[in-house]
Copies of this chain bind each other. A is one copy, B any other.
Amino acid sequence: MPLTEAPQGGDIKSHKLHEDRLFPSDPVQRDIARELYAEVSGLPIISPHGHTDPSWFAKNENFGNPTELFLAPDHYIYRMLYSQGFDLADLGVPDRNGVPEHDPLEAWKLFASNYHLFRGTPSRMWLDHVFAEVFGIDKRLSADTAEEYYEVIDAALKSDDFKPRALMERFNIELIATTEGSTDSLEHHEAILASGWKGGRVISAYRPDAVVDPEHEQFKSAMITFGEMMGQDVFSWKGYLEAHRLRRQDFINIGTTSSDHGHITARTADLSDVEAEDLFKKIVTGDFTAEDAELFRAQMLTEMARMSIDDGLVLQIHPGACRNHNGKLFASHGRDKGADVPSQTEYVQALKPLLNKFGNDKRLSIIVFTLDETSYSRELAPLAGHYPAMKLGPAWWFHDSPEGMRRFREMTTETAGFYNTVGFNDDTRAFLSIPARHDVARRVDCSFLARLVAEHRMQIDEAHELAVDLSYNLAKAAYKL
């Protein structure tokens, strides 16, 4: 039972997005922010990294009911409800046996009755944006309005206007990248290309974690599949690397411009050929230590960088999440259930082998992310502000929020500047929230620039140019789009 009761119903509150939301309240700064935002609010969306499902755009089928679309897959939402004592089953969150028996409307009501829990969170801001802008609802979500919300959204989702391709066009998404593993099929991407649809580009990112991380639960089976798919002896070092090279080319063929690597740490290595091959032998025999596994992941980042110099893929490193912290929940529900927690992450020594090997190579582009904000000013901005091959990814995951983005700019700009950053990543599987997320990022960046202008630290013409760069140009340049 949650400790806090939902607020008493009373009046049904109006729900309109304020046109100045997220801008500073100081009139000088607010007016500048307005002026900058006016120029970027209508720019197309570039979504160069995320986790939407390519089958949505290939099949273009209607989404499911509101609970299925908004609650069951969104760990931002159910982690908050879970933390307050609610059961995931009541929200329709799938466990290892599939979707639990639940009443979607009751799940929605539970969520609506506890909407106050999300006050001050980015989820609240994204959801309000979706409800108002995508569904045109003008009342606040609460116990009182839950049914009305459910009906309006449910009806809309059944219409043609709310099919994935229609939404992609309405959202003005110029390009979206999904993420697929080495052994995932690219059939949906191929189908999209074959369909001749011109409403937006859908590309992928090559994420080989399951065949790169020896401690991944699917490593063994994924390796076997990988070898079969690529026609290579992936249990030999040479064949393994060749399989990656070939698979990267498959991804490139459907438009992919980046790889992505979600390791526990940022560690990289620069082993000799002999050392690397010896290590690989230990890995594939299964007779390896935790340190061997770590070293193998480290070396593979350098191998991927080497391939990037040849084939041009941008290398993304997303380190620092302690995955599946809640053992019981992992046992019952599996991965990605809101129990991932950031850890302290070191970059200076960790990235040194890779950066010493390839960091001065202008052909290479490495984008580094962090969940450890202490590294912004201390490690990442100084590194990105020096190495030609390194750029700094935007505020990520738990820090993809107004305060998180503000801290990102405040702590990175003075050392790395704006032009060693890469624009915004929504990094989401919540397709309907993508415009909301980019809107928040644009508003926060315009507010940051407005402060610099209002404090006479930048001139207005420069802020105009930067607003467009941060909203659109930098992402296209950094991801080679």
Contacts and interface: CB of A to CB of B under 8 A. Distances in A.
Interface of A: 1, 3-4, 7, 13, 17-18, 20-26, 28-29, 79-80, 82-85, 116-122, 125, 140, 322, 325-329, 338-344, 346, 348-349, 352, 355-356, 359-360, 362, 365, 371-374, 377-379, 381-388, 390, 398-399, 401-404, 410-411, 413-420, 451-452, 454-459, 461-462, 465-466, 469, 473-474, 477-478
Nearest to A474: B4
Interface centre among A20, A344, A348 (most CB of B within 10 A): A344
Given A341-B348, A378-B374, A414 B420 contact: no
Nearest to A388: B85
Contact of A461 (B1, B13, B24, B404): B13
A69 to B, nearest CB: 22
Contacts of A120: 413-414, 417-418, 452, 457-458
B83 A386 contact: yes
25 contacts: A3-B419, A3-B477, A4-B473, A20-B455, A22-B457, A25-B29, A25-B451, A82-B386, A83-B385, A83-B388, A85-B362, A85-B388, A117-B419, A120-B452, A122-B414, A322-B348, A322-B349, A325-B348, A326-B360, A342-B382, A344-B378, A398-B414, A398-B415, A403-B411, A403-B413
A215 to B, nearest CB: 16
Contact of A341 (B24, B340, B383, B473): B383
A455 B24 contact: yes
Contacts of A340: 382
A4 B322 contact: no
Given A327-B356, A459-B13, A83 B420 contact: yes
A377 B373 contact: yes
Interface centre among A3, A21, A24 (most CB of B within 10 A): A3
A295 B327 CA distance: 21
B325 A355 contact: yes
Nearest to A370: B378
B417 A80 contact: yes
Contact of A454 (B25, B325, B381, B415): B25
A416 B20 CA distance: 25
A394 B339 CA distance: 23
A459 B418 CA distance: 33
A403 B461 CA distance: 22
A312 to B, nearest CB: 13
Nearest to A2: B419
Contacts of A402: 414, 457
Given A322-B348, A419-B3, A456 B338 contact: no
A377 B355 contact: no
Contact of A377 (B125, B140, B398): B398
- A-B complex: 4 closest residue pairs judged by Cβ atoms: A18-B456, A25-B454, A21-B456, A401-B414
A420 B84 contact: yes
Contacts of A85: 362, 388
A83 B384 contact: yes
Nearest to A373: B377
A419 B386 contact: no
Contacts of A416: 83
Contacts of A344: 346, 374, 378
B339 A386 contact: yes
Given A25-B29, A343-B378, A398-B415, 17 more contacts: A4-B473, A4-B477, A7-B465, A84-B388, A84-B419, A116-B462, A120-B418, A121-B414, A121-B417, A341-B379, A341-B383, A342-B379, A371-B378, A374-B374, A382-B398, A398-B414, A401-B415
